Structure 1
Amino acid sequence: MSTARFTADEARRRARVRRKILKATTEAEIARQAKEDGTDTAAVGFRHALKEGRLRTVTPLDVAAIRAKTGLSQDRFARAFQISPHTLRNWEQGRRVPEGPARALLLAIDRAPGAVLRALQG
């Protein structure tokens, strides 16, 4: 098999996109074609869910701000709320995102840190 070599400009000139037809294509036609091709229809499903309002957005938590409101250092906050200091640093630096129970715990700490502390000391 030989390799075709050409510049980006040549590739653009060779590309034949019928924009009028592309623009007129409906979601139903895309879904039908995807079904016929056996391709992944996740993107089509996502677009429908988005249009129908079945998706919700999740607001990112500012973990550093939540901790700052308590006045605790990273180590003290981690110890007090039974979180790994390494995990806390990853959340604060954006390397990881708290999900599920961790997110719920942080939301509770944000709203009522004293109550959460009392519950954990229980």
Structure 2
Amino acid sequence: MKTHRVTIDVSAPNSFPQGRFDADRVDATKEADIARHIAEDEAEAAQDAARYTRKVRKRLGLTQQELAERINVSLDTIRNWEQGKRVPTGAAKALFKILDRSPETALAALQ
């Protein structure tokens, strides 16, 4: 990779190097496109959270029912998290991080 040094004169904004984006394409983006992209990003984040939740449960060697009982939530909640219909937030999200990093300690504290 080649390195280029660029000197920028802050008093002349027109002298700034051009970025790597297509200004015409950005200007042509409609609100509906932005909303669709946001929805796609949120759906992907929900699926990432679902995979993480499922991975943690499987590493613990627990069924959905056993995990629900251990962390005192309903079985439907666990299912919704693992299917990406809902995303763990707040304390539940923190609990999964602890279960992932220190499962023995977390499970012992929950008993």
TM-score by length of 1: 0.49
Q: Which residue of 2 aligns with 1:89?
A: 79
Structure of greater Rg: 1
Q: Which residue of 2 aligns with 1:76?
A: 66
Runs of 4+ in 1 over 4 A off after TM superposition: none
Q: Which residue of 1 aligns with 2:41?
A: none
Q: Which runs of 5+ in 2 are unaligned?
A: 1-22, 28-44
Cα deviation for residue 83 of structure 1 reads 2.1
Confirm whether residue 108 of structure 1 aligns to residue 84 of structure 2. no
Amino acid in structure 2 at the alignment position of 1:69: R
Confirm whether residue 120 of structure 1 aligns to residue 110 of structure 2. yes
Tell me which of the two structures has the higher relative contact order, counting C-alpha pairs closer than 8 angstroms and 6 or more residues apart: 2
Amino acid in structure 2 at the alignment position of 1:115: T
Amino acid in structure 1 at the alignment position of 2:68: A
TM-score by length of 2: 0.54
CA distances 1:16-53 after superposition (whole Å, capped 9, x unpaired): xxx98x96xxxxxxxxxxxxxxxxxxxxxxxxxxxxxx
Aligned residues: 68
Q: Which runs of 5+ in 1 are unaligned?
A: 1-18, 24-57
Identity %, equivalent residues:
40
